[in-house]
Structure 1
């Protein structure tokens, strides 16, 4: 590690390494010529000062490859952009509003972001505030390794130690062009929810406005600066002017900070904006900027500073402010490019390290089409083993944050996690290729109604013409009607077998792209609590594989099933011999293909009532693979009390996949109970079955969408309820009589997708 340079409250000539290097070169050259040159006099006031800044760089040192989504310019181009401003105005300072590191792509992540710090050092970053991700590995790591390897200072005014003193220097003064510019740092007050509590033990996070204003007052009263700039790791929820300066949490900061602060470089929310905001104390408007993230833009604030002005606030005039797009806009800086190239080489080598294993491939969904290279075309409209697996992994990574379910966008899955013979080894490179965007995991507070809205937004919206199927974590299951109108497709939504409540708030894990409404999923950007977990998506994969004790295998159960065209009940209800028909879809994931014969069955209390073949033909750009037309004949052999109605569940299942859906049926009261003795399936005489309905193994009974399984080992018994219907028939066709029945389907049905980790071999075995 490099020794950290001694920091002082005030640094001359801007304090930047690039300027110190230039001055040193001049000094050496002058001495070599044997000429003594006096230090130049201070520049005549007023001086024009440029402040250029970034926020939320997150180790994006590599540029995006050309393409429709390309936006990240990379560190070498960022460096050239900074130098271009310096070429226009030597009085330029380069700053950051935090999160320089953390949540990084594999190239930087694999070396603990050392390449990113090296690149920022080479660019000549002058000063930064720490963001929440600087503390991803805890305050000891930040105070030691990170700061030691940073040739720039970190400032913060609102991180406090247990004794009430500042944990870090609250500000730094840079002198350039004869002008003294003070930089105050501040960090979001929500820090305790963003990082591991152990990593910030003993620290507290004071109110931003008071901390900044107290510091600004100290600077002005001590006459330590001619201008004050705030480096703030907190930002507006959106890029609108109302979000920046309106009646909201960030607007209160943007307006409430002392008018002696002439500019605010903000961050954290990854938004892009550039506005002048009037301070609450009535002084001149100040520039409030944020660049978005990842070095896609460079913020530039130009100010005229007159140190001789009568009052402090009169010293500064904001001449202009702008966001400069960077992608492919400048030639790469060769010095920084060499740092990036070296990091890429290390990442390529480290990428071959094995981090875990899989028992079979986790694939995206695919169309029947091939691209121009003969490669199958990924189908983002289809449910997939990979999408569901990633959702499972991300839920596992955020349960400590209170997460109850997770959803994953298909566009974030860029490669399959393929089984590689002979042992299914997974490398760093393979894991990173699945999710290359290094999004952070965000836990969003959502009502049940908002969850339903997000699921509805999988189909085309006003801003998107395609269907995008979200991966869902195990335990979140739902039915949908593919023929229904927009906004009314989602049927029943269940979490761990219980129907979600539209009014209840649930904690939902999504990546940071979805959390801001990416891909048209605006339901996630709902204004409720959005807690950054501090974990990047790749990191969650690595932790998952590190904890595994056996190879991970895909779950082939469909966690969403299409149910449509359900036949309506005739007047007076169904009677024995009547039929109930329905169309089913999304019964088989595309990864299973057409391996072996596939059929879907309908059963009641374990007794099969009907079956039908499943058509596994792929429908391109849809999630309807695995379609069947199923007709169920209402059986005899049920007793019905005079009191009713009572709900029973018809179970729809696809053998060998784990796909199961329970469709609730409501039976009306019979004129009189009819009891038919069951026909024994085992000819060996046995003792009568226990009559206590709470005894394990007793046939399940009762209302609700999840009746007892009946006679199955491991079933969950419960006491019989008044009005329950009991199925007493056997698997023969000659059981008793059906009393008058009335059928009602409550919604589209209840999906209970049991996670059976069976591979293709299991399906073939079942077929055999």
Structure 2
């Protein structure tokens, strides 16, 4: 995938940028005598991002570290002036082979592949800054960079801000940065000593230093930004969207940065924006980028920067040779350890446990179903169940568990994965793939109102990369929400084991250490009291659950349902009135049995039934919708519930108030019982309320079955209306009161009027 030709961009140290296919310089340069022109220095910049410990050549697109090393070597063989760089998330959220050995085989593999430099990503901090500093960095031969991370106490950078290397007298410098959202993506406790600065401001600061002619703060002829932040889609407009975190970086980074190498969103794109390459190589080592940079060694002008993204596999076939030493010395031993540990059977499942899905694009930009962290999932709820069970072994008064969707990195499938793995078998490797972060479980106490705040925080801040993050919740906790309500008032009911949650009472809660520290913007967890780290690791809790319970079956009932009702009166909903009901979140989004239909009851009486539309929605928990209008039945009175049920076991209730309207009596009297044709007749109506209050609203006068006039009642419940001219004959006149919020309607007796 070659970058299209691009025009000269704004000047940077007299830099000249040329097209991707026309590797020529401008006429000004060509005017110089050929004998005096030095040959350009050609540098190959090889980049990857979001490798995530994909050590092995997998059945999908991931080629493995040995093949990636072979690809880099193939570039080096053609050009010794090659630098290998990355944009973060090299480790963390890894496959089992790397995860089970704390990603040390991946670090060794990247060392052997000759990685020179990388920005840090958020996953480098999965085990906290201390682990990165004291374990990962000493193992890594490359430099991790971060221009926007500082020691909270001293204000000093915690990592090198830049790295410079030189080829044939031309220096190329790299500035590293990690997403501004780092505090919400990792356990805040793990970076408690770290201040996260703004990417754009700090990159500009360091890039300016590298370009100011002062060797004391570093100098580079070519400056490349390695940033762990990325575009939401592969469209160029997404990379420049000023409302997005990445768009603000692309638009805000100044001319001292010559190219932007990005990551984090796992997409492959190859843009030239305002004359500057803006690229990402996708994910998992499925692709890599080779940016050929030509620089005039005398003037240090950039003559061209041409980036190409290469597929590691085509049609499932590797396009580059695997490094035999990496295969034998690193991958094979790591796989042996992983196979031994991973093959252990933990228990069994009776059906798939899935994460939620939504329509989207795969790494190649093709339409596909992709993970939806905003949807309720059988996997998320089950993990919450497991963690509640684990906490209760030592602390029986723990009542509720929550699980963050980003902590679930793989589904747990029923189908056999190998010849030695029967259907339904769950191995240690499969369980580890679900929860690879090794978070500990933390118990704490939250009030009912703080739990409500937690659930409200599923709707993320405006600047967050995902608008909604769906928490898995343990069985027994159920809630309803109104997706149309204002922020802070969307949660409409919460029950625990069928009883309404008391806003002022305290409840025992367990969450992983990531959430306990306020990760993913769930700050309400930090309000908890009596916080204690159980020391139980999330994965090991799942192992112990299988030891005790042996078999897991997915719960097909939704634990959260969207219910939006037409507005009640000040008193509630009157008997006989109609309520418009919009329902959502009635279905899961993968292989689960569809709800099919939904039934509504009020006060225990069935009032409506509708089919459920299972069309997948995006970035939210609204899949499974139905709309219907129901009439409040007689017999329902006072504080009661509107209940939603489905054949798949979903039961959701929202409290409503039902009241009986005051009965009324309507009497109408014409001004004349006998009249000549053409005479004016007025009609006086009086509506009496049983409680002697004054009804308001409209009365309609009818001639037989035909309405001929209407009027509004005055404050005394009376109305007078002039009737239209009546034809000769007998007319049976009556008045009908339509009722108001407090008074029931009624119809008066027919009064004959004879017109001669």
Instruction: Tell whether the 8 Å contact from 2:376 to 2:471 is kept in structure 1 after alignment.
Output: no
Partner of 2:486: 503
Partner of 2:264: 268
**Cα deviation digits, residues 339-364 of structure 1 (max 9, x gap):** 33332222111114577x68976667
Q: Is 1:203 paired with 2:222?
A: no
Q: Is 1:300 paired with 2:298?
A: no
**Cα deviation digits, residues 392-418 of structure 1 (max 9, x gap):** 5379999xxxx9887799996351399
Q: Is 1:182 paired with 2:165?
A: no
Cα distance, 1:171 vs structure 2: 2.3
In our comparison, the structure showing a higher alpha carbon Rg is: 2
Q: CA separation in 1, counterparts of 2:94 and 2:486?
A: 37
Change in CA separation of 1:410 and 1:546 when aligned onto 2, cut-off 3 Å: closer
SS in 2 for 1:148: helix
Change in CA separation of 1:113 and 1:363 when aligned onto 2, cut-off 3 Å: closer
Q: Is 1:147 paired with 2:137?
A: yes
Partner of 1:170: 161
Partner of 1:325: 311
Q: Is 1:429 paired with 2:412?
A: no
1:235 to 206, 215, 230: 230
What pairs up with 1:276-291 in 2 under 5 angstroms?
A: 276-278=272-274, 285-291=275-281
Larger strand fraction of residues: 2
Q: Is 1:58 paired with 2:47?
A: no
Change in CA separation of 1:506 and 1:543 when aligned onto 2, cut-off 3 Å: farther
Instruction: Tell whether the 8 Å contact from 1:110 to 1:347 is kept in structure 2 after alignment.
Output: yes
Q: CA separation in 2, counterparts of 1:410 and 1:199?
A: 19
SS in 1 for 2:66: helix
2:338 to 340, 347, 352: 347
SS in 1 for 2:160: coil
Partner of 2:93: 103
Change in CA separation of 1:105 and 1:154 when aligned onto 2, cut-off 3 Å: same
Q: How many pairs were matched up?
A: 513
Partner of 1:415: 413
Q: CA separation in 2, counterparts of 1:291 and 1:472?
A: 31
Cα distance, 1:61 vs structure 2: 1.9
Q: Is 1:194 paired with 2:185?
A: yes
Cα distance, 1:113 vs structure 2: 0.7
Cα distance, 1:560 vs structure 2: 8.0
Cα distance, 1:445 vs structure 2: 6.1
What pairs up with 1:283-682 in 2 under 5 angstroms?
A: 285-309=275-299, 314-328=300-314, 329-335=318-324, 336-338=326-328, 339-353=330-344, 387-391=377-381, 393=383, 413=411, 415-416=413-414, 427-432=427-432, 446=459, 473-474=472-473, 496-497=479-480, 499-504=482-487, 531=520, 542=539, 545=542, 551=549, 554-555=554-555, 557-559=557-559, 648-649=640-641, 651=643, 659=651, 668-669=660-661, 671=663
1:90 to 80, 85, 98: 80
Instruction: Tell whether the 8 Å contact from 1:186 to 1:231 is kept in structure 2 after alignment.
Output: yes
Q: CA separation in 2, counterparts of 1:671 and 1:119?
A: 83
For normalisation by structure 1, the TM-score amounts to 0.52
For normalisation by structure 2, the TM-score amounts to 0.53
Structure 1 gap ranges (5+): 1-42, 279-284, 366-378, 419-423, 456-469, 478-493, 509-529, 534-538, 564-572, 576-584, 594-598, 622-631, 640-645, 673-741, 745-768
Instruction: Tell whether the 8 Å contact from 2:643 to 2:651 is kept in structure 1 after alignment.
Output: no
Cα distance, 1:148 vs structure 2: 1.8
SS in 1 for 2:292: strand
Structure 2 gap ranges (5+): 1-36, 356-368, 389-400, 417-423, 439-455, 492-518, 523-535, 564-573, 577-584, 617-629, 665-738, 742-756
Q: Is 1:259 paired with 2:255?
A: yes
Q: CA separation in 2, counterparts of 1:506 and 1:396?
A: 30
2:122 to 132, 138, 150: 132
Change in CA separation of 1:129 and 1:416 when aligned onto 2, cut-off 3 Å: same
